[in-house]
Chain A
Amino acid sequence: MKKYFSFFRLRLITGLQYRTAALAGMTTQFFWGFMEIMVFHAFYEADPTAYPMTMEATASYVWLQQAFLAFFGAWMFEGEIFDTINNGNLAYELCRPIHIYDMWFVRSVALRLSRALLRCIPILVVAVFLPKSYGLGLPASHYAFMWFLITLMLGLLVMVSLNMLVYVTSLFTISGDGLRILFCSVVEFFSGQIIPLPFFPEKVQRLLELNPFASMGNVPFRIYSGNLAGQEMTRAIVIQVFWLLSLIALGRVIGAGGERKAIIQGG
């Protein structure tokens, strides 16, 4: 475990070193968020009644999404892991007394956490001070905030378990860039990163909320502003936990199979 803490620490230090990158990244994200909100405002003016969420809730959603981008960015794969698979270093990893699934899982979590930590605080701080319907509102209640934090972490784990599926399936084939792009666009769309899920038509929304991608950012960001509450919230959390356990189980099965194959074939 200590190893992963030092991995996390190293990532954090590296991130701090490159202050220009951090600054540029934050400013960029800030502007993306701002433009996104402008779009939503333009649509709001067209027809406020057709809005499925309040403008404040939408603005909060956008800012939270920007701040925690590193949690749910589908494109964040570790090149090192793919290299390990492709160039035969896998043999070394298999020698350790721990499943490669667990190893890579913790690494991915550490990577995303360290990246998010650097970015989220400044963005959140600035967003809170923006005018009401443009900035980050306060949480709907203490209760909502608590569940926000819990589901945020759960959502992170769901994302990582999806990442893991890609890693372990590539033990069997060489997954090409094309498939990865496909994965990214599918995840982005169905997780509400293109437009928040409530904006989809009612019928489509019902279906979408059942898929694993909706159990990532969609849940915590909406709980925060109170858009998801009561019975619906409970339902969403249950689905989230279900997907988390299923994806991990599936990943471990495939991972174990991949380990066996690698041991037989020699990496």
Chain B
Amino acid sequence: MRERQLYRADDNMKFNGKRFCDVKNVVSDGERKEICIMKKQKVSGLRLYIHYLSIIFRSAMQYKVSFLLMALGQFLVSFSVFLGVYFMFQRFSNVKGFTYSEVLLCFSIMLMEFSLAEIWARGFDTFPSMIRQGTFDRVLLRPRNEVLQVLGSKFELVRIGKVLQALVMFVYGMTHVEVRWTAAKVLTVVFMLIGGIGLFTGLFMIYAALSFFTLEGLEFMNLFTDGAREYGKYPFGVYGKRMLQLTTFVIPYALVQHYPLLYILDRRDNPFYIFLPLLALWFMIPSYGLWHYGVRKYKSSGS
């Protein structure tokens, strides 16, 4: 609590009906006085985040046409990728035992995971520009957690175009796949989304953390974000045993794509698979660790 100023006890005790200070009796200059000590109430991180979102929204509303065009562009980009898959399956009936609708299911869920993560964690995805333009200095000058500020700097709803594309594919896949949908399976999909969003957020965070060390070698990291989205069209088992191992234990893509998918397609029936996607959230720990280390390095070596 900081003593900001002396007020007379009955002035300003309430402001908009809320009490904002505590009254204390002190002796000053030989006199008994009542003073108000301002209560320092910290605005919660969540409330601040919502405030960030509202300002982003108000900024975006100034450019409505551009927004629509860009959302359309996003839809078209992923639509052309979809067409690629479609035409491949015109020729081939299946790939490593997965049919067209099954692949669509896999693709759509992966795309949703990626796009939703991209929408909310775009601040990390575009973090290199924050470093280049010196905006990160301003982040450090504000009395808030850096992660919260970076998340609050961007919320790209434009990418909803990709989410829509994914939803369409999901509905198609869901209705054409020969499985019975149970509550457990729906829960599995929900957990896949949660785990997947967490995984990609962690990957974006690593991308941002790497930009503290090199601004030029970053292209490689795209492989793990865009690359995973691109090649995650097909269940990772399609790429062979080694790939499956890598994507299970090193970067847990398979935990939010391949294995729960097998459960949904009735190829596994162990209920453990329902909760497996949540395990992928462990990845956010090393991501945050690298980020933290990167911030320290930035503070010691300037920009």
Contacts from A to B (Cβ < 8 Å): 18, 20-21, 23-25, 27-28, 31-32, 35, 38-39, 42-43, 45-47, 50, 52, 176-182, 184-186, 188-189, 194-195, 199-201, 204
Contacts and interface: CB of A to CB of B under 8 A. Distances in A.
A176 to B, nearest CB: 6
Contacts of B227: 31-32, 35
Given A25-B219, A182-B73, A42 B83 contact: no
B87 A200 contact: yes
Contacts of B69: 176-179
Instruction: Output the residue of B68, B77, B92, B214 with the most chain A CB within 10 A.
Output: B92
Interface of B: 65-66, 68-70, 72-74, 76-77, 79-81, 83-84, 87-88, 90-96, 214, 216-220, 222-223, 227, 230-231, 234, 238-240, 243
B88 A35 contact: no
Contact of B92 (A24, A50, A194): A50
A50 to B, nearest CB: 5
Contacts of A199: 87-88, 91
Given A35-B239, A42-B239, A20 B217 contact: yes
A18 B216 CA distance: 7
Contacts of B219: 21, 24-25, 28
A18 B217 CA distance: 9
B80 A38 contact: no
A177 B66 contact: yes
Given A35-B239, A46-B95, A185 B80 contact: yes
Main secondary structure, interface of B, reads helix
Contacts of B94: 46
Given A35-B239, A195-B87, A42 B74 contact: no
Given A25-B219, A199-B88, 20 more contacts: A18-B216, A20-B214, A20-B216, A21-B219, A23-B217, A24-B219, A27-B220, A32-B227, A35-B230, A35-B231, A39-B231, A39-B239, A46-B96, A179-B69, A182-B72, A185-B77, A185-B79, A200-B87, A201-B87, A201-B90
B247 to A, nearest CB: 12
A180 to B, nearest CB: 8
B93 A46 contact: yes
A202 to B, nearest CB: 10
24 contacts: A20-B217, A24-B218, A28-B223, A35-B230, A38-B239, A42-B96, A43-B92, A46-B92, A47-B93, A177-B70, A177-B73, A179-B69, A180-B73, A181-B74, A181-B77, A185-B80, A189-B83, A189-B84, A194-B80, A194-B83, A194-B84, A195-B88, A199-B88, A204-B87
